[in-house]
């Protein structure tokens, strides 16, 4: 099978020759650590990893994107508003005003490609705090702007119709996007205190995304549509299931109908945290896959499989803490997930970005276990 066939057969509970080998990706600070632990510089880390465990890598382990721009156009000006010794107050491209360590200025303002890991910020102001702010924000989301599609989009579509690799599209979901505009606390309060504003924002985002999806599907039916929707803490969702059903489920369902009518086979949703309360709603909305299933947040993937059967497929689910410990701990973690692999609809991977406490030797050990589990060794 080619990578596209293998991915679709796996996620749709078919009969793949092997499960896609996708161990997960490291953060920049993880790379920095690995270079002192055995990973040579100036090599493709994934190809080198496969070489170490004697596995032939797949040509594509990530979906190729059509590069449709769902986000704001134009972006806000990135600028320093105030210097305060060891910190700066800056406006980012989303219009947020934050205080951040001065050492991260170039990364935060886009003059370097990667900030190196998680960075603490003090949030001062978000771009939407009133109806007036919201009306101004709308002007940055003109779905008719030709810049939202690459100039060679038609040629790309022609090349991709007969393809052997996965083509996917991703965009911000409802909760994610509204949080980008309002900030987390302001948004949660607005659901209660300003429901009309929240509903207007949701309706606008639903229509904006729908318009772009419809135009995309005129040229191409991607294999995967992925919604970024981080909306869960360690134990609970960030808003109640009842509130999610009332405000957000209709939009998820509308997009799902467009996705499937457009010929796309996989409708996937991402959320960190404990998603046990959300999975039933996702199934109702038409999602077929969810990820990354963080173990530290209490997600029990074998239990989810027993409960939901083939109504939901999964990606992720391997405990990064077990990866860091290695030895018997990672071996046991892999065995814990074997029943889910054997019942299909699961691509095992690290349950988030691979952190720096996973050493390069532990990464190699984990990858070898994963390659055996997925049929590559």
3-state secondary structure 167-182: EEEEEECHHHHHHHHH
Q: Where are the alpha helices (DSSP H) in the chain?
A: 3-11, 28-34, 45-53, 105-108, 131-138, 153-160, 174-182, 184-193, 195-219, 241-247, 249-261, 279-285, 301-308, 320-325, 327-342, 360-373
Low-confidence ranges of the chain (pLDDT < 70): 59-61, 111-118
User: Could you tell me the CA-to-CA distances from 166 to 2, 123, 154, 159, 271 in Å, in that order?
Assistant: 10, 38, 18, 13, 21
Q: Which residue ranges form the domains of the chain, and what is each CATH number?
A: 3-74+129-373 (3.20.20.210), 77-126 (no CATH)
Closest CA to 175 of 109, 227, 132: 227
Model confidence, pTM:
0.94
- Cβ 290 vs Cβ 312: under 8 Å: yes
Query: pLDDT per residue over 258-314, tens digit each?
Result: 999 999 999 999 999 999 999 999 999 999 999 999 999 999 999 999 999 999 999
Q: Is the dihedral of CA 171, 299, 33, 89 positive or negative?
A: positive
Q: What is the mean pLDDT of the chain?
A: 94
Phi, psi of 119 (to 5 degrees): -130, 130
Size of the chain, expressed as the number of residues it contains: 377
Give the per-residue pLDDT at 61: 62
Q: Give the pLDDT confidence score for residue 57 in this predicted structure.
A: 80
d(CA 301, CA 140): 40
Q: For residues 291 and 315, is the Cβ–Cβ distance under 8 A?
A: yes
Chain segment 55-79, per-residue pLDDT in tens: 988 766 677 888 999 999 999 999 9
pLDDT given for residue 292 in this prediction: 97
């Amino acid at each position: 099978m080619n990578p596209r066939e293998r991915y679709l057969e796996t996620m749709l509970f078919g009969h793949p020759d092997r499960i896609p080998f996708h161990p997960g990706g490291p953060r920049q600070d993880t790379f920095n650590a690995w270079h002192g632990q055995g990973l040579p510089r100036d090599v493709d880390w994934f190809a080198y990893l496969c070489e170490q465990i004697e596995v032939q890598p797949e040509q594509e382990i990530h979906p190729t994107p059509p590069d449709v721009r769902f986000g704001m156009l134009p972006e806000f000006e990135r600028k320093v508003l105030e210097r305060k010794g060891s910190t700066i107050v800056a406006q980012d491209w989303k219009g947020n005003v934050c205080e951040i360590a001065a050492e991260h200025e170039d990364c935060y303002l886009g003059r370097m490609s990667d900030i190196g890991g998680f960075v603490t910020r003090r949030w001062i102001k978000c771009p939407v705090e009133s109806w007036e702010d919201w009306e101004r924000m709308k002007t940055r989301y003109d779905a008719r702007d030709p810049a939202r599609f690459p100039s060679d989009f038609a040629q790309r579509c022609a090349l991709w119709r007969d393809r052997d690799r996965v083509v996917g599209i991703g965009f911000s979901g409802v909760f994610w996007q509204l949080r980008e505009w309002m900030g987390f606390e302001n948004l949660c309060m607005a659901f209660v205190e300003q429901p009309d504003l929240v509903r207007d924002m949701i309706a606008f985002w639903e229509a904006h995304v729908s318009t772009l999806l419809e135009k995309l599907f005129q040229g191409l039916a991607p294999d995967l549509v992925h919604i970024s929707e981080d909306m869960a803490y360690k134990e609970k969702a960030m808003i109640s299931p009842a509130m999610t059903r009332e405000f957000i489920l209709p939009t998820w369902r509308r997009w799902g109908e467009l996705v499937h009518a457009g010929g796309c086979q996989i409708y996937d949703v991402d959320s960190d945290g404990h998603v046990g309360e959300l999975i039933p709603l996702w199934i109702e909305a038409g999602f077929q896959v969810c990820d990354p299933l963080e173990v530290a947040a209490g997600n029990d993937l074998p239990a989810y499989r027993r409960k939901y059967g083939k109504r939901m497929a999964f990606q992720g689910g391997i405990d990064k803490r077990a990866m860091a410990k290695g030895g018997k701990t990672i071996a046991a973690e892999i065995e814990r997930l074997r029943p889910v692999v054997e019942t299909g609809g699961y691509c095992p991977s690290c349950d988030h970005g691979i952190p720096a406490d996973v050493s390069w030797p532990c990464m190699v050990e984990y990858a070898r276990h994963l390659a055996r589990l997925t049929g590559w060794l």
